[in-house]
Structures are given as C-alpha cells and as structure tokens.
Amino acid sequence: MSRFAAVSFSIVWLLVFSTGNLRGAERPREQPQTIRIAYVSPVTTMAPIWIASEIGAYQREGLDAKIIYIDAKIAIAALVAGEVDTVVISAPSVIPPVLSGANIAFIAGLHNKMIFSFHAQPDIQSPAQLRGKIVGTNRPGTPADYGNRVALAKMGLKPTDVQLMPLGSSGVMWQAPQTRQIAGVTLAPPSSFRADAEKFSRLVDTYDKPYQNTGVVVRRDRIQPMADTWLRLLRALRQANLRFYEDPKLAMFVLKKYTQQADPDVLQKTYDFESNPPGFTRDLKVSDTGLQGILDFLSTTVRPEAAKASPKDFYDTTILDRLEK
C-alpha cells in the first residue's frame, strides 16, 4: 500500500470512528408513550381529545395517542379489562358501575355543563301530547338515558307515561325522529340545533341542572403506576380546553371534522352554546355539585343506593394535584 493510500485509509477510518462515537454520545430520543384513549360518541363534549390531536399537544407531551371510537355500552367493560387505557365519558356511565364495585375513577373533568334538550315531532306542541307515545332513548345508565329521564321529569312526566325505545348511539337517536319512528327524543348539540333548524318542537331543555359531563376515567389501580403518563395527558387536554375558547375557528373546524356537521349556522350555535357560559373546564376539576345532582336523581329513580354515596367516591385528585404544582 502506498503512503498516500495508507494516510487516506487512516483519515477515513478516523472519521468513521469519530462519527460513530459522536452518535453514540448523543442522547437517544425518547420513544413516545402509547396511550389508548376511547370516546363514546361523536358529539361536541369530546372536542378536547380531538383538538389536542389537531394542535400536536399529545406529541409535545411525548405521547402517541391512539383515539378510539367505542360503543358506550361496552366502554367501561373495555376499560376494566385493560383493552383501553382511559375512557372519556360522562358521569351517568361511571356512577352505576362504581356503585356496583367497579374500581374506576375520574382523574379529571373536561366538561361540566348539562347539554340535553327534548325534541318532538312538529305536530306535538306540549308534554301532554307525548303520553302513550314512543320516546327514543339509550340503554339505562347512559348519559342519554339520564338526560331523557331528567327532561321527562321537568315536563311533569314519568318514564311509564311514555313508551321508551332504546335506540343506541347519538346518530341513531337523531335519525329516528327524522323518519318519524318516534314521537320525541332527547338530543345534544349539534343534533339538537339541527332539530331546531328542521322545525322539530323543542319542549324543554336541561341546561339549568348541575352536571358532571365528560371527564377522563381510568382504573384506580393504574393511577400511580402510570402517573407520569396521566400527567402528560392532562397537560395536553388542558391546552385543548384553552384553545377551544382562544381559537373559535379551530374549534369549529374540529367540530365540523369530527361530528360530521357541515351547516355553518349549526356550528356557530354549537360554539356559542359552549361559550355562554363555558362548558369546557380550564382547571380540569371534577364537579362535586355535578356529581351530587346525578346521585340525587339516581337515588330517587333507578339506583336507591346512590343516596349513600359521596361525590368523592367517584374521582381521584392525585394527578390534578401534581398538575397544579
């Protein structure tokens, strides 16, 4: 080998060795933490989990968030079985399982506003005209079922005064009155505003009732082991809740994309409804009065044992306490 070739070989070897050492000395990039987030209905109150995705909040917190749409009737069972890590869901779906022994809890509240209104066929102008007729609902224990029972009570009716028909998801509940399969149904935005636009009779709303709407629900035995993951998740969702009010155009874009609502007037009404007063929480706290309102109602209707329960039986502040520091 010539002297020139030997020197060239030495330089190349030195560069390769040095580059390898430099790369080895670099701090390896942390792998994103995968988290499976389930939601149960494509409605407005789920907006934070979608906004967090759109603005890159999960990625900034080092999370690889898998957003999963799951049927409400199996959501809690899937959480308990470990098939998902967390469910974003409302308290009426959480309280009965906890009363029955499920080891789950809210670690944060995302929305604390009652959103249901009762809509009937255009020719039905009073609650009295509903007696004996078919009213659409969801299965017992779901938020829609709870909203329906509260709406009937406000109209001076009992569930036995009408024929309750469990329909399923919010989409099916909105389709049923359009095809005249039912006399009335309880709806949430944006479907409720579409019902107004199509001249269905709005007989009552439930907006004055205290309520714990959507929140982050996890298994209690995973709160401490996954504390860092939950802290990252809540930071991302807090960013999303703030952006809902700071950026109306983004909020309505997200609602249009995920709820499949294209009518700009309905989208604006939905945003205005959530803004006056605000429904999405800025501090992510769970509402004691909202939980107590649901417990009071359930104790006098379908779950008498709810009378002995306390709101604090249904949430854990461990992660929120860390978030506030």
Residue 127: both structure tokens together: 């609650």
**What backbone phi and psi angles, to 5 degrees, belong to 108?**
-165, 155
> CA distances (Å), 271 to each of 4, 195, 247, 265, in order?
74, 16, 11, 10
**Amino acid present at 156:** G
For residue 97, is pLDDT > 60?
A: yes
- pLDDT-derived band at 311 (thresholds 50, 70, 90) equals very high
β-pairing verdict for 215-219 and 86-89: antiparallel
Residue 29's pLDDT is what? 57
User: pTM value?
Assistant: 0.85
Average model confidence (pLDDT) across the chain: 89
Can you give the pLDDT at residue 314? 98
The answer on pLDDT for 75 being more than 50 is: yes
Split at pLDDT 50, 70, 90, the class of 30 is: confident
Give the pLDDT confidence score for residue 171 in this predicted structure: 75
Question: Binning pLDDT at 50, 70 and 90, where does residue 6 land?
Answer: very low
pLDDT tens column, 169-217 = 777 888 999 999 999 999 999 899 999 999 999 999 999 999 999 999 9
Helices 264-275 and 248-259 meet at what angle, rounded to 10? 120
Which one has a higher pLDDT value, 71 or 130? 130
Q: Is residue 4 pLDDT above 80, yes or no? A: no
Neighbouring CB atoms inside 10 A of 66's CB total 13
Whether the pLDDT of residue 316 is over 70: the answer is yes
Higher pLDDT, 230 or 15: 230
Q: Which amino acid would we find at residue 197?
A: A
For residues 124 and 126, what is the distance between their CA atoms, to the nearest angstrom? Answer: 6
Instruction: Check residue 73 and give its pLDDT.
Output: 83
Check whether 20 has a pLDDT greater than 80.
Answer: no
Share of the chain above pLDDT 70, in %: 91
What mean pLDDT do residues 207-229 have? 97
Please give the pLDDT value at position 63. Answer: 98
Read off the pLDDT of residues 144-155 as tens digits, 9 standing for 90 and up.
Answer: 888 999 999 999
Least confident of 16-30, 81-95, 103-117, 206-220: 16-30
